[in-house]
Amino acid sequence: MKKVNEKMTVEIPGHKYNIHIKKGVLADVHKYVDLERKVLIVTDDEIPEEYVSALQQQCPECYLATVHAGEASKCFIYLQFIWNALLDNGFGRKDLLIGLGGGVVGDLTSFAAATYMRGVDYINIPTSTLAQIDSSIGGKGAINLGDVKNIVGAFHQPRAVFIDTDLLQTLDDRNFYNGLAEAVKAGLIGDAELFELFEQLPAEREQIQQEYIEQIIVKALAVKKSVVEQDEKENGLRQILNFGHTIGHAIESAGELAGMLHGEAIGIGMLQVTEDAALRERLAAVLRKLNLPTSHEYPAEQLMEIISHDKKQSGNKINLILVKTPGKAEIVKMPLEAVKKYL
């Protein structure tokens, strides 16, 4: 097994930060970031306590804000809860927030840090595969309004990101495989070798976790980093990260809370926009191996209605991301109606 001790640097105009990828790095955060100030750790109530205390031990003046686990916590009430924790404990412009959790905690912490006193430092310590592979870098924070996802948010880059794959040991199987879908996406849009790695991968979680997960994360983050560095605010190229997401989001919304997880839904979303039959079969085989679904039960009309609703702010044209060859994505502008043929 190759030992990974990787430092990746993300460089965006005005911001530069490191992503530390190393087993056990949770215990070493103080070596890289100044924790000798007020620190608010934001986490959720399903994150094991030992992770929280490993972090608390490194922070002389530490406060904790714990939210309920789950998507519903990306809401104004919890945002206000975090702002209040900062204000009540006298946090100033030079103090620090740490998001320790999955994408929910990461998005909430990022947005709270972006807005408190017009922007304070935060670092991300992602604990789910989805967050380690995708959501912890890129600087997008947000909350949901009712059932409209990520509709209020901000771009605010973290000071650093720490990826400790040991933390994945306590993640349940469904969430473990769910996050891998984002890495399959990264391979398809930007790294053919990563996609091929998934084709050769063993199916057992234990083996993936022991031998392959770090490579997968490093490769997927490299794709995201390169895209985000070229287009931080999603004016053009960054849209390719949405491969599989137009239809995937619709599938995710159609099922509401009892439905599919994000990665599960975008796996199907990618499959549905892959026109080349051979590539579609290769992708379906990868999804099946990762215990990810390859079909859904929602009628095309229902998905079309959700897609039209999602896009109503941007007129009746849509930019759909298509992949014909692994590693290369295209942005294709088409009338909204044209999406129907993929449903």
Kindly state whether residue 120 participates in binding ligand NAD, applying the rule CB under 6 A: no
Write out the binding residues for ligand NAD, residues 206-245 only, by CB under 6 A.
none
Q: Is 242 a catalytic residue?
A: yes
How far is the C-alpha of 177 from the C-alpha of 171, rounded, in Å?
Answer: 10
Neighbours of 85 (CB within 10 A): 18
How far is the C-alpha of 124 from the C-alpha of 19, rounded, in Å?
Answer: 9
Kindly state whether residue 252 participates in binding ligand NAD, applying the rule CB under 6 A: no
Contact region with ligand NAD (CB under 6 A), list: 28-36, 44-52, 91-99, 244-252: 44-52
Q: Is 288 a catalytic residue?
A: no
Q: Shortest distance, CB of residue 281 to ligand NAD, whole angstroms?
A: 27
Max CA separation in the chain (angstroms): 59
Neighbours of 145 (CB within 10 A): 13
Tell the burial category of 104 from Cβ atoms under 10 Å away from its Cβ (0-12, 13-18, 19+): buried
In the list 25, 33, 86, 138, the residue contacting ligand NAD (rule: CB under 6 A) is 138
Q: Is 38 a catalytic residue?
A: no
Neighbours of 172 (CB within 10 A): 10
Nearer CB in complex with ligand NAD: 8/69: 69
Instruction: Report DSSP letters for 139-195, one per residue.
Output: -EEEEEETTEEEEEEEE---SEEEE-GGGGGGS-HHHHHHHHHHHHHHHHHH-HHHH
For residues 342 and 334, is the Cβ–Cβ distance under 8 A?
Answer: no
* Annotated catalytic residue within 20, 144, 159, 182: 182
For residues 248 and 339, is the Cβ–Cβ distance under 8 A?
Answer: no
Q: Is 224 a catalytic residue?
A: yes
How far is the C-alpha of 152 from the C-alpha of 8, rounded, in Å?
Answer: 29
Kindly state whether residue 69 participates in binding ligand NAD, applying the rule CB under 6 A: yes
How far is the C-alpha of 162 from the C-alpha of 19, rounded, in Å?
Answer: 6
Kindly state whether residue 152 participates in binding ligand NAD, applying the rule CB under 6 A: no
Q: Which residue is nearest to ligand NAD (CB)?
A: 103
Which residue matches tokens 């009746």? 316
Contact region with ligand NAD (CB under 6 A), list: 16-24, 42-50, 186-194, 273-281: 42-50
Nearer CB in complex with ligand NAD: 247/282: 247
Kindly state whether residue 104 participates in binding ligand NAD, applying the rule CB under 6 A: yes
Contact region with ligand NAD (CB under 6 A), list: 8-16, 99-107, 186-194, 200-208: 99-107
* Annotated catalytic residue within 238, 264, 282, 296: 238
* Annotated catalytic residue within 234, 280, 289, 291: 234
In the list 134, 191, 214, 252, the residue contacting ligand NAD (rule: CB under 6 A) is 134
Q: Shortest distance, CB of residue 182 to ligand NAD, whole angstroms?
A: 7
In the list 80, 89, 170, 230, the residue contacting ligand NAD (rule: CB under 6 A) is 170
Contact region with ligand NAD (CB under 6 A), list: 3-11, 135-143, 247-255, 297-305: 135-143
How far is the C-alpha of 132 from the C-alpha of 213, rounded, in Å?
Answer: 10
Residue 296 phi, psi (nearest 5): -140, 175
Of the candidates 250, 224, 246, the one whose C-alpha atom is nearest the C-alpha of residue 306 is 250
Nearer CB in complex with ligand NAD: 108/282: 108
Binding site residues, ligand NAD, CB under 6 A: 44, 46-48, 69-71, 74, 101-105, 107, 127-128, 130-131, 134-135, 138, 140, 149-150, 167-168, 170-171, 175, 262
Catalytic residues: 118, 140, 182, 224, 234, 238, 242, 245, 249, 262
